[in-house]
Amino acid sequence: MAGASEVAGDERTVERGRPWRRQELWPWAAFMVVFGLMPVLYSAPYQHNIAVLICLTALMATGWNLLGGFTGQISLGHALFFGVGAYTVTVGELRIGLNPWLGMLLGAAIAVAVSMIVGLPVFRLRGHYFSIATIAVGEIAFLIFLNWQFVGAAGGLSIPIKEDSLLELQFSGQHKWEYYYLAAGLLLLALVATQLILKSRTGYYLAAIREDQEAAASVGIPVARYKQIALSFSAATVAIAGAFFAQYVLFVDPVSVLELAISIQITIAAVLGGVKSMWGPVIGAAVLLSLTETARLYLGGTGEALNLVAYGLLVMLIAAFEPNGLIGLAQRFRRPRNTRGQR
Amino acid sequence: MVLLEVNGVTKHFGGVAANENVSFSVEEGELVGIMGPNGAGKTTLFDQITGFQAPDSGRIIFDGRDVTGKRPDRICAAGLARTFQIVRVFPELTVLDNVVVGALHRHKDVGVAQKRTYELLERVGLEDRSNALGRELPLAARKRVQLARALATEPRMLFLDEAMAGLNKKEAGAAVELLKSFRQEITIVMTEHVMEILMPLSDRVIVLVEGKKLVEGQPKEVSTDKRVVAAYLGEKFVASGE
């Protein structure tokens, strides 16, 4: 027994979180190379637009996945937080001249506050009932904003165009690379935060809650509090994406930032890539937007919505054959499985 | 020193009394067995003591503090851990991570929790399976994971709900040996409906029948008590004596 505990103790002494393993590092390198070079490889303006949207969708899906994938609470109402971020920036700028970066932070803070109000009743439900309740919450928000004159109601609000500046988060260049790198930077921050959470005690607790809430409670985990921590993180992340989006298109209305379709898009990006890995949502967002935009280019405009049919087919195939998403598909071709907690 | 005091606990489900006015206490260092036929209210009693259900009336005092109706995580923090009759390991986590989750309760640092976990896995004989997923293990091993996970929270008292149910004779024997190895360090309350297992292990036995405490006493007294025999085998076996 003494010998074995020596083996266990030799290299793990005072780390705060789960120690790093070498195979965890290469995705970071790949991310840096791919996202760093994307604007160089895709140089046409419309491609830059897609690249920005990939970053924002990946940002949202990464935020969503801490709650949906790692904590197992599938929300279909995250458009609410996207809208809160987008509206906070816009209304802040129009009504009190708030700087957009501060508006982004304020939007994240309001989203966390809203998530606490929403979380209280919604987390009393489990499984499908939880998901259905989140749809209802999202739709309520949609209807409120649709009729709320102060925030422009159905007509929406425009952010006035200013001179190009990082401080004002406005760039008029056709190639949009400033927006791209800022969005990619935010995504990187969200990924780093996610990684740190997953390696900490909180990461273990969220996994335990996903696996079995009663068993989690029996080993001393305050389940409600940790669910709320996951929801708060995901709400703030999605709100930041919403704020950035509003600043990017300089316009918000309920249809463009609060629709159910946005909630579903976030979920699908995460599920397509694979919710068991923190890289799944990033890959999912990249593949989903590349495919849908390509499909729209070649199949759209016919009035037959063939691009949407292709999109639906893709989702069905993933759901039916590989619940672990593209990452799960890729792992089938690699060595068996990559268990958590290998020595 | 009395570690746990259960006072007049009553729980009804609709018109059915799952527990009625159940009282008992457990001394520090004891191993107390709770037995009774299926449906006697053993699991309901456990659920109330460990915070998974609130009693309709009655008090539960642990270590001098009133823990009646407190949340399960608070009760775990107070030093009372449990296992489940229907085994609940985290199916998609490795054996190591299952137990680390428990160890993190007292050790925030993941490295320290892992170290503590390897020691525990060694004690319950699962050190070779630390990378297996929870769902891949046979029942006997999953029960050991549950036990290690509960022990990892470093409780003063352990509630084991049907620790042997579903095990074959050899596995049950090994589980008994394992429990014996822990009983010097921790106060244990266990339910079990196989008398041959419970009797030799327990310092004291409590018999529940139809939600009420029927008998309490030394294993020897209890196993020859006419009311207990009647409850287990039926009235007609009582009179014949041998």
- Complete DSSP assignment for B37-102: STTSSHHHHHHHHTTSS--SEEEEEETTEE-TT--HHHHHHHTEEE--SS----TTSBHHHHHHHH
pLDDT band at A11 (very low <50, low <70, confident <90, very high): very low
| Mean pLDDT score across all residues of chain B | 91
CA atoms of A281 and A203, how far apart (whole Å): 17
SS (H, E, C) A39-98: HHHCCCHHHHHHHHHHHHHHHHHHHHHHHHHHCCCCCCCCHHHHHHHHHHHHHHHHHHCC
Rounded to a whole number of angstroms, the distance from the CA of A156 to the nearest CA of chain B is 46
Q: Do residues A203 and A197 make contact, with C-beta atoms less than 8 angstroms apart?
A: yes
Rounded to a whole number of angstroms, the distance from the CA of A191 to the nearest CA of chain B is 20
- In chain A, how long is the greatest CA-to-CA distance? 73
Rounded to a whole number of angstroms, the distance from the CA of A279 to the nearest CA of chain B is 19
Closest residue on chain B to A15 (Cα): B111
Residues of B in contact with A199 (CB under 8 A): 110
Rounded to a whole number of angstroms, the distance from the CA of A205 to the nearest CA of chain B is 7
Q: Is the pLDDT of residue A338 over 60?
A: no
The count of C-alpha atoms lying within 13 angstroms of the C-alpha of B234, restricted to the half-sphere facing its C-beta, is 2
The lowest-confidence range among A49-53, A68-72, A194-198 is A49-53
Q: What share of chain A is helix, strand, coil (3-state, %, to 5)?
A: 75, 0, 25
Q: Is the pLDDT of residue A333 over 90?
A: no
A219 phi and psi angles, rounded to 5 deg:
-105, 25
**Helix, coil or strand: residue A309:** helix
- Which of B97, B142, B161 is the best residue to mutate to test the A interface, defined by the most A CB atoms within 10 Å of its own CB? B97
CA atoms of A72 and A57, how far apart (whole Å): 20
Closest of B74, B81, B34 to residue B54, by C-alpha? B74
pLDDT mean over B141-160: 95
Token reading at A216: 């989690």
pLDDT mean over B55-70: 95
| Mean pLDDT score across all residues of chain A | 86
pLDDT band at A302 (very low <50, low <70, confident <90, very high): low
pLDDT mean over B124-153: 94
Q: Are strands B204-209 and A157-158 parallel, antiparallel or unpaired?
A: unpaired
Q: Which residue among A5, A13, A220 sits closest to B105, beta carbon to beta carbon?
A: A220
pLDDT mean over B11-30: 93
Residue scoring higher pLDDT (A2 or A303): A303
Does the CB of A195 have a partner CB in chain B at under 8 Å?
no
Question: What pLDDT does residue A303 have?
Answer: 64
- CA angle at residue A112 from A157 to A19, to 5 degrees? 125
Question: What pLDDT does residue A39 have?
Answer: 81
pLDDT band at A336 (very low <50, low <70, confident <90, very high): low
Question: What pLDDT does residue B135 have?
Answer: 94
Q: Is the pLDDT of residue B241 over 50?
A: no
Q: Which residue among A9, A204, A219 sits closest to B153, beta carbon to beta carbon?
A: A219
Residues of B in contact with A342 (CB under 8 A): 131
- The secondary element (H helix, E strand) that includes residue A185 is helix A177-199
> What tens digit of pLDDT does each residue of A23-41 get?
788 889 888 888 888 888 7
Rounded to a whole number of angstroms, the distance from the CA of A109 to the nearest CA of chain B is 27
- CA angle at residue A82 from A79 to A83, to 5 degrees? 85
pLDDT mean over A246-254: 92
Residues of A in contact with B77 (CB under 8 A): 220
Closest residue on chain B to A9 (Cα): B115
Using the beta-carbon criterion (under 8 Å), do B104 and A1 form an inter-chain contact? no
Question: A72: which residues sit within 8 A by CB, 6+ positions away?
Answer: A209, A210, A211
Using the beta-carbon criterion (under 8 Å), do A13 and B111 form an inter-chain contact? yes
Question: What pLDDT does residue A9 have?
Answer: 39
Residues of A in contact with B76 (CB under 8 A): 217-220
Residues of B in contact with A8 (CB under 8 A): 114-115, 118-119
Rounded to a whole number of angstroms, the distance from the CA of B134 to the nearest CA of chain A is 10
Tokens 């998403």 sit at which residue? A325
- The pTM (predicted TM-score) of the whole model is 0.89
> What tens digit of pLDDT does each residue of B214-240 get?
999 998 888 888 888 887 777 666 655
Interface of B with A (CB under 8 A): 50-52, 71-73, 76-77, 81-82, 84, 88-94, 96-97, 100-102, 104-105, 108-111, 113-115, 118-119, 122-123, 127, 130-131, 133-134, 149-150, 152-153
> What tens digit of pLDDT does each residue of A268-294 get?
999 989 888 999 999 999 988 888 887
Question: What pLDDT does residue A294 have?
Answer: 78
Report how far apart the first and last C-alpha atoms of chain A are (Å, whole number). Answer: 18
Residues of B in contact with A17 (CB under 8 A): 110
ipTM, two decimals, is 0.91
Does the CB of A219 have a partner CB in chain B at under 8 Å?
yes
Question: What pLDDT does residue A340 have?
Answer: 47
Q: Is the pLDDT of residue B213 over 60?
A: yes
pLDDT band at A301 (very low <50, low <70, confident <90, very high): low
Rounded to a whole number of angstroms, the distance from the CA of B91 to the nearest CA of chain A is 7
CA atoms of A200 and A217, how far apart (whole Å): 18
Question: What pLDDT does residue B235 have?
Answer: 66
pLDDT mean over B31-58: 92
Question: What pLDDT does residue B196 have?
Answer: 82
Using the beta-carbon criterion (under 8 Å), do A5 and B119 form an inter-chain contact? yes
Question: What pLDDT does residue A191 have?
Answer: 96
CA atoms of B30 and A25, how far apart (whole Å): 50
> What tens digit of pLDDT does each residue of A114-161 get?
999 999 999 999 888 999 999 999 999 999 999 998 888 888 888 888
Closest residue on chain A to B93 (Cα): A340
- Of all residues in chain A, the percent with pLDDT exceeding 90 is 54
Residue scoring higher pLDDT (B155 or B223): B155
Residues of A in contact with B149 (CB under 8 A): 215, 219
CA atoms of A67 and A74, how far apart (whole Å): 7
What are the structural domains, with CATH classification, of chain B? 1-79+187-242 (3.40.50.300)
Using the beta-carbon criterion (under 8 Å), do A211 and B72 form an inter-chain contact? no
Angle between helices A201-211 and B110-124 (to 10 degrees): 50
